Structure 1
Amino acid sequence: MQLSTHLSRPCRHRPILGLLTLLLACAPLAACSSDSDDNPLGIGTFDPAAMASAKASESAAAAAASASAAASAEAAGVVTAESLSTDRYIVTYIPEDLDAQQTEVLKAFINYDQVTWNIWFTGTGVENAQPLMTAEAYQSFKDHYDPIAGETVSGGLRVAVISALITSPDPANAKAEVRVCSDQADLNSFDTSGQENTDPETLQGRYERIVTLIFDGETWRTATEKTLSTNKCEA
C-alpha cells in the first residue's frame, strides 16, 4: 500500500551540623514519625511506608495539576502539540507565536490529516473527508482510495508542523500553506483479507509535505498536497 501522501506526535545539609540537625531538617520530607515517651528529643524515626505514601500523593497531585493546566489551556483556546495529538497521531511540534488566523489554519489541517489517516487506519469512512476538502481534492483522494477500499493500516505516526502561513490574506480568496514532516516508520498495511502487504519504500518513510488550504467563506478546506522530500526531515 502506498500512503506517502493522502492525495496521491533530597535532602542536602552541611556535614558540620551533625546527625541531629540532619534528622531534624529532613523530618518533614522523609515522612518520619515520633513517640514522645520513647523519644524525649522528638527525633523522628524513618517510616518507609509513610514516605512511599507521601511520594504517591505528590505524584497524584502533580498529575492532577498537569491535567488541570491542560484543561484550562484548552478552555482558553490555547493550542498545543499535546492537545492536537491522539493515541496514534502524535503531534511532536507546532510553530510558536501563531496568530488567530494561522491557528485556525493549523487546526483545520490537523483535523483533515487525522480524519484522512483514520480512513487509511480503518479502511472505512471515506465520506468523512468530503467536508474537509475541495471537490477536486476529494475526487483525487477517492481515486486513490477506491482501488484499495477496505485495506487497513496499523501503528502510529509522528507529525511535526514546520510552518503554517497565510499566503493570501484577501478574504475573498484567502489561501494558506502548512508544511509538515510525517514520520511513518511504525506503520504497516494489510489487504482486505488481513494479510500484510507493507511496502517499506512507499509507506514507512519520513515525508516532508506542503498542504495548501483555501477559505471558502465558512471554513478552511484542503486543496492540494505535495511531497517535497523523502527521509530528509525529522518529526
Structure 2
Amino acid sequence: MQPSIRVPRLRPYRPAAVVVALLLACAPLVACSSEPDDSPLSIPTYDPEAAASAEASESAAAAEASASAAASAEAAGVVTAESLSTDRYQVTSIPEDLDELQTEVLKAFINYDQATWDVWFTGAGIEDTESLLTPEEYENFVNNFNAAQDETTDGMVRVAVFSVSISSIYASEPKAEVLICDDQSRVVSYDSAGNDISDPKTQQGRYKKAITMIYRDGAWIKSGGEALSANECVV
C-alpha cells in the first residue's frame, strides 16, 4: 500500500491589483460605507444621503470662503464687484485700474444707487437718501416714489459699471460720469391687490445709462443722468 499524500488546500488567488482597486474604490467618496452586514464581500457601498450632505457641506464652505475673501479685500481697501454687492443689488463688473479718485466716485455712485433701490424694495427710508442726491434729484425721486405708494417692488437689480471718468476737476464743483448697464429684468412690481403690473417695455429691461455725479460739500452726489439705449447692453 502506498502511503497517502496530503494535498495542501490552496487559497484562491487574488491579484494585488484587484485588492488595491477595492481599497481605492471608496477613497474619493465620503459617502462610502463598509458595513459587513450590507455587503458580504466588504465592498464599500454608496450612501446617497451622505453624498448629498457632503456636497452641501462643500458648497457652504465655498460660499464662506468667497465671503471671507470679499471681506478681506474690503478691509484692505480693495474694491471689487463682489464687495460692492448685496442680496438685492448685484454688481457684476467694475473697471480695472481705477485710481483713488475714480474709486471714490464709484463707491459714491453704488451707495446712492443701492440706497434708492432699497427704498423701492422696502418702501421705507427715503429720507436717508436726501444727502446722496442734489435737491432737484431728491425732489424728483420723492415725487416718483409717492406716485407709486400703492405699489410694491420685489426682485433684484444687476449693474455692470463700464467706466468712471472725471471732468471739471478744477471747477468749484467737479463732475464725474459713471457709465453703466442697469439690468432690471428681474424687478417685479405689484399693485395693492398683489397683481403683477410690471411693464416689460419700460421697467424690465437692460438700460445703458450715463450717471452724473458732482462733488459738493465734501461728498460725491448724484446730480443727473440719462438713458442711452434699451436692451442692448450686457451685464
8 A contact 1:187–1:204 mirrored in 2: yes
Over residues 76-131 of structure 1, what are the superposed CA-to-partner deviations in whole Å (9 max), with x where a residue is unaligned?
11111111111121111111111111111111111111111122223333222211
CA distance in 1 between partners of 2:59 and 2:194 (Å): 42
Which structure features the higher share of helix residues?
A: 1
Identity among equivalent positions (%) equals 52
8 A contact 2:182–2:206 mirrored in 1: yes
The farther-off stretch of 99-108 and 18-27 is 18-27
Q: Does 1:187 align with 2:197?
A: no
8 A contact 1:172–1:217 mirrored in 2: no
8 A contact 2:70–2:80 mirrored in 1: no
TM-score relative to the length of structure 1:
0.74
8 A contact 2:181–2:208 mirrored in 1: yes
Amino acid in the other structure paired with 1:126: I
TM-score relative to the length of structure 2:
0.74
The farther-off stretch of 86-95 and 184-193 is 184-193
Amino acid in the other structure paired with 1:207: Y
Over residues 6-34 of structure 1, what are the superposed CA-to-partner deviations in whole Å (9 max), with x where a residue is unaligned?
xxxxxxxxxxx95677778899756799x
Shift of 1:145: 2.5
Note the 1:127-146 alignment, pairs <5 A. Answer: 127-146=127-146
Return closer, same or farther for 1:26/1:124 CA change in 2, 3 Å cut-off: same
SS at match of 2:202: helix
| Structure with max Cα Rg | 2
Q: Which runs of 5+ in 2 are unaligned?
A: 1-15, 34-42
Amino acid in the other structure paired with 1:163: S
Q: Which residue of 1 aligns with 2:66?
A: 66
Return closer, same or farther for 1:135/1:69 CA change in 2, 3 Å cut-off: same
Q: Which residue of 2 aligns with 1:117?
A: 117
Return closer, same or farther for 1:115/1:30 CA change in 2, 3 Å cut-off: closer
RMSD: 3.1
Return closer, same or farther for 1:223/1:47 CA change in 2, 3 Å cut-off: same
8 A contact 2:112–2:129 mirrored in 1: yes
Aligned length: 211
